[in-house]
Amino acid sequence: MYYHCRDLKFVEYGKVYPPPADEFWDDMYKWLGHYCGYCPQIWLARSRSQITGFRSCNFFTKMTKQKDAEGCKKSKTCFYKSDDILFGFENVQGFPLRYGIWELLMNIVGNEKDFKKQNVEIEKQLNQFVEWQKEAEEPLDEELTAWVNSGRDVEKFLKDYVFVEVDQVVVPSLNLKSAKKIICRNEKHKKALRKMGFIEDRIKIMNVKRWTW
């Protein structure tokens, strides 16, 4: 099953598009857009619902910086109620992406705005990682082994290792009413989803304490 998570306020009974994104991610999504053909993207996880961003309980924490009475900064944990809804789809035809290596590439391409320079930076950084592991006399990680096996060619590496369907796909839009499973946390969420038109038998209330499904 393919899973997609979004805030209730961005849920519609029908076709939806990517919700507003923080401009911090723009350069990363634009880089991906050169390959998949659209930007921004809607993200879905294949089989692994936990990588969608869906929280495992009703509340999640956020660290904030505040000043105490003497003007010193300190961290404070705040609690926020989550309105995330998780949608499950049986079949999705999308552009595939390997989750683990995407996390690494995000940090690399996010340092540049120009597409060509981003790919130059990928080559540079992956070569550096290989050298560091060799110097440490450690076996190469799976992604670095794939990089070396590609002949250290960025395009071949992306085609053979990164843009393959393992655990994640992206699409330009998504029809939410075709979801076969809808997970929410409380009756208020369920009522709002029913009011939009979603089939009640497909809506389940779950408050998962840890990732067991």
The pLDDT value given to residue 142: 94
pLDDT-based confidence at residue 156 (cuts at 50, 70, 90)? very high
Alpha-carbon distance of 137 to 135, in angstroms, equals 5
Most confident of 58-72, 75-89, 138-152, 199-213: 138-152
- The amino acid that residue 74 corresponds to is K
Which pTM value belongs to this model? 0.82
pLDDT-based confidence at residue 211 (cuts at 50, 70, 90)? very low
Listed residue (51, 27, 53, 140) closest to 99, CA to CA: 51
For residues 152 and 22, the model is more confident at 152
The pLDDT value given to residue 80: 53
Which of 67-71, 89-93, 203-207 shows the lowest per-residue confidence on average (mean pLDDT)? 67-71
Q: From residue 9, how far is each of 13, 39, 101, 145, 160 by CA, in Å?
A: 12, 21, 31, 43, 38
